[in-house]
Amino acid sequence: MNDELASGVKRYKRRVKANLLCSTGLSRQFLSDLSDSIDNYIEENNVTRLEEVQDHFGTPEQIARSFLAETDISVIRKKVRLKQIILLALIAALLIWAVGVAISTKTSYDARGGYGIEEPAVLVSRSTETDP
């Protein structure tokens, strides 16, 4: 397999992976089988162009669609549900952080009586001191 075909096949497999909505284990197994099938097809048919691979296997979107059509819907729901839970947890954490910053700022403001500028203490130079 030439370098151009190898890199094209690698991108092709990544695009298939990006379109799969299922558990990591299930997608890993499917991608492993697909990768073996693609490699065997390339070797057996002396394929030199990525278009030949796509003509035989279909576009990454078509592969993902056919895989999802055969996959149990509950597996897909779990994956989508997990993403929703992670997103909600992230939003909740950001809201809690924002409220904490707001409360801290308000407390600091109230304690000082405002956001006034503090002047530094005047330093006395040692050269102006007199020795006894």
pLDDT digits (tens, 9 = 90+) for 33-68: 888 999 899 888 888 888 888 899 888 888 888 887
Q: What is the pLDDT of residue 126?
A: 62
Q: What is the pLDDT of residue 67?
A: 82
Segment 101-124 shows an average pLDDT of 74
103's enclosing H/E stretch is helix 73-112
Q: Where are the beta strands (DSSP E) in 13-55?
A: none
More confident residue, 93 or 82: 93
Tokens standing for residue 77:
């729901």
Question: Which pLDDT score, from 0 to 100, does residue 130 have?
Answer: 56
**Does the pTM of the predicted model rise above 0.85?**
no
| 43 Cβ contact list (under 8 Å, min separation 6) | 1
